[in-house]
Chain A
Amino acid sequence: MKLTGAQALIKALEMENVEVMFGLPGGCILPAYDPLLDSSIRHILVRHEQGAGHMAEGYAHVTGRPGVAMVTSGPAATNMVTPLCDAFMDSIPMVCITGQVPTTAIGTDAFQECDTVGITRSVTKHNELVMSAQDLPLVIRQAFYLASTGRPGPVLVDVPKDVLTNTMDWYWPTDAEVVDSLPGYRPVTKGHPKMIKEAAKLLLSCERPVLYVGGGILKARAAEVLRELAELTQIPVVTTLMARGAFPDSHPLNLGMPGMHGTAAAITAMQKSDLLIALGARFDDRITGKVSTFAPEAKIIHVDIDPAEQGKVRRPDVPIVGDCRLVIEELIKVIKELLGAGEVQADVGPWRSKVSGWREQFPLAYEPSEPGEALKPQFCLEKLRDLAPKGTILVSGVGQHQMWSSQYWQFEEPYTWVNSGGLGTMGFSIPAAIGAKVGHPEKTVWAIDGDGCFQMTAQELVTASVERIPIKVAILNNSYLGMVRQWQEMFYGERYSEVYLSPEVPDFVKWAEAMGCVGIRVESPEEVEPAIEKANSINDRPVVVDFRVDAREKVFPMVPAGYSNDDLLLPPSQNETRRFLG
């Protein structure tokens, strides 16, 4: 069967079971948009290419399937760099297709030409410039295979215009052909049995262990086996920013989030532990604080599918390369065998009561506002949480509101939390929320945004209105770049430099309405609940709620950058009882 490259590209995407893609056409990718008209694939037309990338990420976050974005060459490709890097840092499976100038024009500084594969080389798991239409089916299959196996990540396929218009003989490579075509790509999924046995023995021998759970647990669909492991061994769990929802917040073993703005219990438990069982976590600087003083007495079991994570920051005592789900399953099996054979687990009871004590004594805390005072952002989040329908997906931007979202939400199920962890991309939430809603139209999706973030990608609410994707947006609007303001207050002697936005403009309600959304402004505590209830009841269009919140509010606890986790700053109200953390 003879097809054009464009037809082959779209057919290949259909063969990969792509249901939806996010994109914006332009000169070089134009040929691919023609067969799209006859395709089963839904295309969502964005207002800015960065939006398409973050939507694909949001979709991938909640469905576990690669998100697909398609844009043209040059500026469209450069606009895609941020989402690609974001997906790369957070290991999000994504396939991005970019148009390119015709092969004969490559390298001539043609209109809308840029070296896309060169520019995106260091922000993709892999990328490929397709030089022949005949190669398209194999390259697309490779892209999906690479994006979704091993450590997931973004893959970019750059397709010159003449490759789209030339004809080819259709074929569809088999799984074996795809694997054979990538001789250098052999991800290890099964952990080494000897290492797993060693890990099981070490785990049973330690009295102060902590399960340090990262985003890899979610990528590996391992939430259930994680719970089994935790309950079998009664080891306390901390869930990193990327792993919120991987273990229920209501579970008595859950200590919450560790790291720079983690809970005192999670941070201190890690610091004082004698064994960290790192599962799909990468010892990020936001977790460890000053590395040389991080968890000084802890031995390390490190389970990660990426061999390069082993020993990158902290040398493991037992490194296990493999898929978290498969490794944990094996680990549980071996532990049960050892216990069955008479081995006895060290008593973790005293440790458990100690960490539970910290959890009770050092809850997240803020001072509620007095009547007439400005709204507290944490209060808004508590109300949003309490009024959210079951299974609501929470998506956040980057900054104070992100930390409060992670802290104050109650995550009970996996894949209900979407955020930009590694790259920290302001403006992530609105497009990512749209992608999440497209992935799960039956679920309520709340985007929590700051007023700074909102102004970076708000135009995608036009996309949401036109495409009838009814997300809900809560702006925690303090008229500041809040996190920067917090650092300037705490570490730069209250010298506020270029962080004050504006309390008057833009008018977020009018802006929301102009984009086809319902806009609601909330200025006092008694308006909070009615506004959220109204927002929750609207399902035919997006809603934007502009919460005008107290700009003086800071995120606590906090481990200042570069400091030891021993030096965490508690909310001011807890300073007097600090000695109990000892």
Chain B
Amino acid sequence: MSELQHHILSVLVENRPGVLARVASLFARRGFNIFSLAVAPAEEDTMSRITIVVDVERSPLEQIVKQLFKLVEVIKISELDPRHAVERELILATVRAGAADRGPVVELMQILEGKIVAVGSDAITVSLEGHPDKLDDFEDLIRPYGILELQRTGRIALPKLDRDVRTSAVKGNIG
């Protein structure tokens, strides 16, 4: 298990139909589960950035990265080291909160700097943005009240400004 850990891949691709399926199938055919996935247009709208978090050992990951490079629509891949990257994620959760529980839930949201998005008679929907670890903590804290529905965006990440992204490579410039 020692080598099995989260790896964050940031993949810049052409913004076209089928690209996500190509990327995802390289993981699927090897039997690797994608832990989280976020994809949206990048700095230019002809490009999208896909942030993939996978639990996989180092050597199969290297092979997957090389195979990803071979996809015609993949332009750039960086593996982001969490120590040198900014990571963010957003969570939306509808929590059971009747009259008696509403106070503690609202208080918790204030402490964590979350937002209350909607209030119903016996539930509220909250949102929280931050580092994925913070969101994990938040989930644990509100679980006792009863989570009715929950959605996380999957993490997005960019390299920190003051660092080189040492493992990044542009196509045609590796090997």
**A311 with B62: CB separation less than 8 A:** yes
Interface residues of A in 117-131 (CB under 8 A from B): 117-118, 121-122, 125-126, 129
Chain B positions within 8 Å of A308 at CB level: 63, 66-67, 69-70
Partner of A184, one of B18, B29, B72, B174: B72
Chain B positions within 8 Å of A129 at CB level: 17-18
**B174 with A307: CB separation less than 8 A:** yes
B21 close to chain A: CB less than 8 A: yes
**B73 with A118: CB separation less than 8 A:** no
**B22 with A121: CB separation less than 8 A:** yes
Chain A positions within 8 Å of B66 at CB level: 307-308, 310, 312
Chain B positions within 8 Å of A192 at CB level: 175
Chain A positions within 8 Å of B29 at CB level: 122
Interface residues of A in 53-74 (CB under 8 A from B): none
**B21 with A118: CB separation less than 8 A:** yes
Chain A positions within 8 Å of B175 at CB level: 188, 192, 307, 310, 319-321
> Quick one: closest B residue to A315, CB to CB?
B59
Chain B positions within 8 Å of A183 at CB level: 14, 75
Closest Cβ–Cβ distance, residue B79 to chain A (whole Å):
15
Closest Cβ–Cβ distance, residue B11 to chain A (whole Å):
10
**A185 with B17: CB separation less than 8 A:** no
CA distance A187 to B14 in the complex (A): 17
CA distance A117 to B17 in the complex (A): 11
Interface residues of B in 161-175 (CB under 8 A from A): 171-172, 174-175
**A184 with B63: CB separation less than 8 A:** no
- Give 1 or 0 for each of A509-542: 1 = CB within 8 Å of chain B CB: 0000000000000000000000000000000000
Number of interface residues of A (CB under 8 A): 25
**B21 with A184: CB separation less than 8 A:** no
- Give 1 or 0 for each of A298-331: 1 = CB within 8 Å of chain B CB: 0000000011101110000001110000000000
**A184 with B22: CB separation less than 8 A:** no
Chain B positions within 8 Å of A320 at CB level: 175
Number of A-B contacts (CB under 8 A): 52
Chain A positions within 8 Å of B75 at CB level: 183-184
**A306 with B172: CB separation less than 8 A:** no
> Quick one: closest A residue to B14, CB to CB?
A184
Chain A positions within 8 Å of B17 at CB level: 129
A186 close to chain B: CB less than 8 A: yes
- Give 1 or 0 for each of A165-202: 1 = CB within 8 Å of chain B CB: 00000000000000000111111100010000000000
Chain A positions within 8 Å of B70 at CB level: 306-308
Closest Cβ–Cβ distance, residue B75 to chain A (whole Å):
4
Chain B positions within 8 Å of A310 at CB level: 66, 175
Chain A positions within 8 Å of B62 at CB level: 311
A146 close to chain B: CB less than 8 A: yes
Chain B positions within 8 Å of A184 at CB level: 13-14, 71-75, 171
Closest Cβ–Cβ distance, residue B151 to chain A (whole Å):
26
CA distance A319 to B74 in the complex (A): 23
CA distance A187 to B29 in the complex (A): 24
If over half of B's interface residues share one DSSP class (helix, strand or loop), that class is named, otherwise mixed; here it is mixed
Chain A positions within 8 Å of B14 at CB level: 183-184
B25 close to chain A: CB less than 8 A: yes
Closest Cβ–Cβ distance, residue B66 to chain A (whole Å):
4
CA distance A187 to B172 in the complex (A): 6
Interface residues of A in 557-580 (CB under 8 A from B): none
**B72 with A307: CB separation less than 8 A:** no
CA distance A310 to B66 in the complex (A): 9
Closest Cβ–Cβ distance, residue A334 to chain B (whole Å):
19
A182 in contact with B63 given A121-B22, A129-B18, A307-B174 (CB within 8 Å)? no
**A122 with B25: CB separation less than 8 A:** yes
**From A129, A311, A319, A320, residue with most partner B Cβ within 10 Å:** A311
Chain B positions within 8 Å of A122 at CB level: 25, 29
Chain A positions within 8 Å of B13 at CB level: 184
CA distance A432 to B18 in the complex (A): 32
CA distance A121 to B17 in the complex (A): 13
Partner of B171, one of A125, A186, A311: A186
Chain A positions within 8 Å of B18 at CB level: 117, 121, 129
Chain A positions within 8 Å of B72 at CB level: 125-126, 146, 182, 184-185
> Quick one: closest B residue to A150, CB to CB?
B70
- Give 1 or 0 for each of B53-82: 1 = CB within 8 Å of chain A CB: 000000000110011011111110000000
Closest Cβ–Cβ distance, residue B31 to chain A (whole Å):
14
Closest Cβ–Cβ distance, residue B168 to chain A (whole Å):
15
> Quick one: closest A residue to B62, CB to CB?
A311
CA distance A192 to B173 in the complex (A): 10
> Quick one: closest A residue to B59, CB to CB?
A311
CA distance A483 to B21 in the complex (A): 38
> Quick one: closest B residue to A309, CB to CB?
B66
> Quick one: closest B residue to A304, CB to CB?
B175
**A186 with B172: CB separation less than 8 A:** yes
> Quick one: closest A residue to B73, CB to CB?
A184
> Quick one: closest A residue to B46, CB to CB?
A183
Chain A positions within 8 Å of B71 at CB level: 184
Closest Cβ–Cβ distance, residue A485 to chain B (whole Å):
32
**From A146, A184, A306, A311, residue with most partner B Cβ within 10 Å:** A184
CA distance A184 to B69 in the complex (A): 8
Closest Cβ–Cβ distance, residue A423 to chain B (whole Å):
16
> Quick one: closest A residue to B47, CB to CB?
A183
Chain A positions within 8 Å of B67 at CB level: 308
Interface residues of A in 71-128 (CB under 8 A from B): 117-118, 121-122, 125-126
Interface residues of B in 110-127 (CB under 8 A from A): none
CA distance A545 to B25 in the complex (A): 45
Closest Cβ–Cβ distance, residue A39 to chain B (whole Å):
28
- Give 1 or 0 for each of B8-22: 1 = CB within 8 Å of chain A CB: 000001100110011
CA distance A306 to B66 in the complex (A): 9
A312 in contact with B21 given A183-B14, A184-B14, A184-B73 (CB within 8 Å)? no
Closest Cβ–Cβ distance, residue B71 to chain A (whole Å):
7
Closest Cβ–Cβ distance, residue B148 to chain A (whole Å):
33
CA distance A308 to B67 in the complex (A): 6
> Quick one: closest A residue to B67, CB to CB?
A308
Chain B positions within 8 Å of A188 at CB level: 172, 175
CA distance A476 to B162 in the complex (A): 69
A121 in contact with B171 given A184-B75, A308-B69 (CB within 8 Å)? no
> Quick one: closest A residue to B64, CB to CB?
A308
Q: List 7 A-B contacts (CB under 8 A).
A: A121-B18, A184-B73, A188-B172, A307-B69, A308-B69, A310-B175, A321-B174
Closest 3 A/B residue pairs (Cβ): A186-B172, A321-B175, A308-B66
- Besides A121-B18, A186-B171, 8 other A-B contacts (C-beta < 8 A): A121-B25, A122-B29, A125-B72, A185-B171, A307-B174, A308-B63, A308-B70, A321-B174
Q: A residues bordering B, Cβ < 8 Å?
A: 117-118, 121-122, 125-126, 129, 146, 182-188, 192, 306-308, 310-312, 319-321
